[in-house]
């Protein structure tokens, strides 16, 4: 039994960091637009403005009276005037000793302790909590989810993971605690976990029933990491449950089924969907972003 949904291997040697989770759609994965980015930055500036201590511009600062040192008394009880040079140096020291004007105090969020970078997987036990993860936090910073995985399992199942871990890619580093750290971004966290659970042999955590929307996300991840063999055994379970809803005429599900059948080599379903698309003379460019061969899209 896994201690956390994100701990694929409790003794794993690799931390997989998923940046901006749940940005993946059933079709094209959109990059965060400039408009979204500006909106996030605006929220962050609003937060800084709210946490800044206001200063009343109309209220003058209290005058600071310099301390006047007592002049030494002479033997006859009279005060001897100080030389002019001494007065000038005293004035300069008073100016230097004058405290600086107070600036607005910005209350910044407390930085996470250094040990946070070196820890293992995040602790999440509820699948609903994973679905609620947003790509950015409330301050406009990208969300990061940490999963503890086995490099041996990843390298065996996926040539892409193997090149990332064993090659000199910027997505892979060796941390000071000896762990590998590899990075991914924007995948739907639930679909990503389905693929990782199949790779690590967690059969009881792989769903026996799956929605069409989740399956097309899984197919995109499988195609990207080229790990078809790990998921093939579950296709025979998932597809019969969904085949009854195959479209009879062209609709928005045809590109989805085209993608799924292409990735998992479902020849009969693929041929049916191609016929529907061609007969209806629909624009196949709506499938942009799904793993389909360019030869089909170009026909």
What's the pLDDT tens digit per position in 191-233?
A: 999 999 999 999 999 999 999 999 999 999 999 999 999 999 9
| pLDDT tens per residue, range 94-115 | 545 555 555 555 455 554 544 3
Sign (positive or negative) of CA dihedral 214, 132, 198, 263: positive
- CA-wise closest residue to 263 among 237, 299, 225, 298: 225
Q: Say yes or no to pLDDT of 33 above 50.
A: no
As a whole number, mean pLDDT of residues 127-146 equals 91
In this prediction, residue 127 has a pLDDT band, given cuts at 50, 70 and 90, of confident
Q: What's residue 29's pLDDT?
A: 42
Q: Say yes or no to pLDDT of 36 above 50.
A: no
As a whole number, mean pLDDT of residues 76-87 equals 49
Q: 157 exposed, middle or buried (CB, 10 Å; 0-12, 13-18, 19+)?
A: buried
Strand partners, 185: 19
Return the exposure string of 80-111: e unless at least 16 CB atoms fall within 10 Å of the residue's CB, then b: eeeeeeeeeeeeeeeeeeeeeeeeeeeeeeee
Look at 172-181, 188-197, 254-263, 279-288 and tell me which has the smallest mean pLDDT: 279-288
Question: Which residue did the predictor score with more confidence, 254 or 41?
Answer: 254
DSSP designation for 136: B
DSSP designation for 168: T
Q: Say yes or no to pLDDT of 142 above 90.
A: yes
Does residue 289 sit in helix, strand or coil?
Answer: coil
Q: What's residue 24's pLDDT?
A: 87
Q: Say yes or no to pLDDT of 146 above 50.
A: yes
| pLDDT tens per residue, range 57-72 | 455 555 555 555 555 5
Q: Say yes or no to pLDDT of 286 above 90.
A: no
Question: Which residue did the predictor score with more confidence, 137 or 34?
Answer: 137
Q: CA–CA separation, 214 vs 246, rounded Å?
A: 16
User: How distant, in Å, are the alpha carbons of 256, 276, 281 from that of 284?
Assistant: 11, 11, 9
pLDDT over 70, % of the chain? 59
CB of 223 closer than 8 Å to CB of 158: no
Question: Which residue did the predictor score with more confidence, 101 or 55?
Answer: 101
| pLDDT tens per residue, range 257-284 | 999 999 999 999 999 999 888 876 545 5
pLDDT over 90, % of the chain? 46
Q: What's residue 79's pLDDT?
A: 46
Q: Say yes or no to pLDDT of 180 above 60.
A: yes
Q: What's residue 283's pLDDT?
A: 53
Q: CA–CA separation, 259 vs 28, rounded Å?
A: 12
In this prediction, residue 288 has a pLDDT band, given cuts at 50, 70 and 90, of low
Sign (positive or negative) of CA dihedral 213, 217, 223, 227: negative
Q: What's residue 9's pLDDT?
A: 94
Q: What's residue 65's pLDDT?
A: 56
Q: 75 exposed, middle or buried (CB, 10 Å; 0-12, 13-18, 19+)?
A: exposed
Strand partners, 183: 17
């Amino acid at each position: 039994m896994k201690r956390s949904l994100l701990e694929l291997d409790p003794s794993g040697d690799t931390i997989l960091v998923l940046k901006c989770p749940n940005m993946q759609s059933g079709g094209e994965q959109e990059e965060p637009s400039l408009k979204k980015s500006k909106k996030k930055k605006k929220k962050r500036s609003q937060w800084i403005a709210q946490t800044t201590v206001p200063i009343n511009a109309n209220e003058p600062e209290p005058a600071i009276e310099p301390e006047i040192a007592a002049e030494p008394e002479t033997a006859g009880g009279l005060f001897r005037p100080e030389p002019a040079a001494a007065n000038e140096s005293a004035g300069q020291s008073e100016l230097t000793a004058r405290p600086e004007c107070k600036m607005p105090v910005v209350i910044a969020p407390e930085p996470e302790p250094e040990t946070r970078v070196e820890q293992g997987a995040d602790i999440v036990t509820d699948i609903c909590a994973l679905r609620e993860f947003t790509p950015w936090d409330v301050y406009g910073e990208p969300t990061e989810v940490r999963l503890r995985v086995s490099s041996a399992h990843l390298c065996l199942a996926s040539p892409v993971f193997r090149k990332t871990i064993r090659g000199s890619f910027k997505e892979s580093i060796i941390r000071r605690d000896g762990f590998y750290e590899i990075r991914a971004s924007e995948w739907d966290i639930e679909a990503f976990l389905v693929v990782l659970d199949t790779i690590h042999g967690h059969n009881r955590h792989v769903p026996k029933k799956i929605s069409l929307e989740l399956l097309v996300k899984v197919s995109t991840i499988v195609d990207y990491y080229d790990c078809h063999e790990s998921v093939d055994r579950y296709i025979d379970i998932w597809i019969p449950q969904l085949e009854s809803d195959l479209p009879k005429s062209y609709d928005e599900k045809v590109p989805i089924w085209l993608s799924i059948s292409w990735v998992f080599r479902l020849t009969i379903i693929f041929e049916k969907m191609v016929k529907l698309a061609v007969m209806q003379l629909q624009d196949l460019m709506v499938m942009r972003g799904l793993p389909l061969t360019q030869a089909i899209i170009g026909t």
